[in-house]
Structure 1
Amino acid sequence: MKSKPVSASRTVMTDLVLPPDTNNYGTIFGGRVMAYVDKIASIATMRHARMPVVTASSDSLDFLEPIKAGEAIRLEAFVTYTHKTSMEVFVRIESENLMTGQVKQTGASYLTFVALGPDGRPAPVPGVIPETEEEKWHYQTAPARFEYRKQRKMERLAQNERTSR
């Protein structure tokens, strides 16, 4: 299977934050941001694999700044690393004040998705070729995150086994 450049998966989504999207402080609900993150990560990984995908894990979602009603939320996602059937995707979240043009990074997240073949089982995915310095950094640091996820999953499975007896 031929590897693909990161740019093949790069996806951008922008939306206007309206009052129904916000909490009593006038800032976007965290759950709304989480839904956007999962959606854009799904699109980026489907673009890379050209197969259906499912979310396998979310490492983190770090909220750095609030996004206010009337601002635009902008998300950018791209596949940073692949393993046999899984893909790590990075999502950057920004806000834009549409009156001033000020853009701020408001969050970031890493997620893992698994590609599914026609039988609904995990299927092999193409490798990834980083091109920019940012992409190379994500790619070079990905194996450590992969090992951390694997260890975390093993610990949670063991804990689940202990508590379900």
Structure 2
Amino acid sequence: MPTLMDTYIENRYRVQPNHANNYETAHGGNVMKWMDEVGAMSAMRFAGHSCVTANVDELDFQRSIPIGDNVLVEAYVYEAGRTSVRVHLRTYREDPRTGECEQTTESNFVFVALENGSPTEVPELTVESERGEEFRQRALEYDP
């Protein structure tokens, strides 16, 4: 059975001018797309099947991310149903020159595992480490 830490994925995207809005910061739609992609990767790693987005909890953009900075997205599965997977996502603005990070967005997404186009069962989630339990608690306590 996959553990929570087996599902941890982080990815970075560089904010280019074509990703920006009129204020020269990352367009919220691009940030949400990147979160969805990384969340799906985490869900698929857990489920062992393709996964599609079924629900996005409240998504607040707390800080902007300027052109030239990185968007760091981290995701991990913290709960599993019969065919669905809950993924906690956090997004950060990262200065590529210094590595300085500051959180910009946080949300929980729900993905459904599919096999031949139909929902399919997912395994049980196990949490085997102290760090994994800390991550799970953070996700459970997240209240937008």
2:23 corresponds in structure 1 to: 25
1:44: Cα distance to partner? 0.6
Aligned with 2:125 (options 118, 124, 128): 128
Higher helix share: 1
> Aligned pair in 2 of structure 1 residues 78, 136: CA closer, same or farther (>3 Å)?
closer
2:102 corresponds in structure 1 to: 104
Which structure 2 residue ranges, 5 or more long, are not aligned?
A: none
1:57: Cα distance to partner? 0.6
Aligned with 1:16 (options 3, 14, 19): 14
Q: Is this contact kept in 2: 1:80–1:138, CA < 8 A? A: no
1:45 corresponds in structure 2 to: 43
Provide TM-score, normalisation by structure 1: 0.78
- Report the count of equivalent residues: 139
Q: 2:118 aligns to what SS in structure 1?
A: coil
Q: Which amino acid aligns with 2:40?
A: S
Structure 1: distance between partners of 2:17 and 2:136: 39
Flag the structure with larger Rg.
1
Provide TM-score, normalisation by structure 2: 0.89
Q: 2:135 aligns to what SS in structure 1?
A: helix
Runs of 4+ in 1 over 3 A off after TM superposition: none
1:109: Cα distance to partner? 1.3
2:104 is the counterpart of 1:95: no
Structure 1: distance between partners of 2:138 and 2:126: 11
Q: 1:137 aligns to what SS in structure 2?
A: helix
Aligned with 1:71 (options 69, 72, 85): 69
Q: 1:4 aligns to what SS in structure 2?
A: coil
Q: Is this contact kept in 2: 1:27–1:67, CA < 8 A? A: yes
> Aligned pair in 2 of structure 1 residues 31, 136: CA closer, same or farther (>3 Å)?
closer
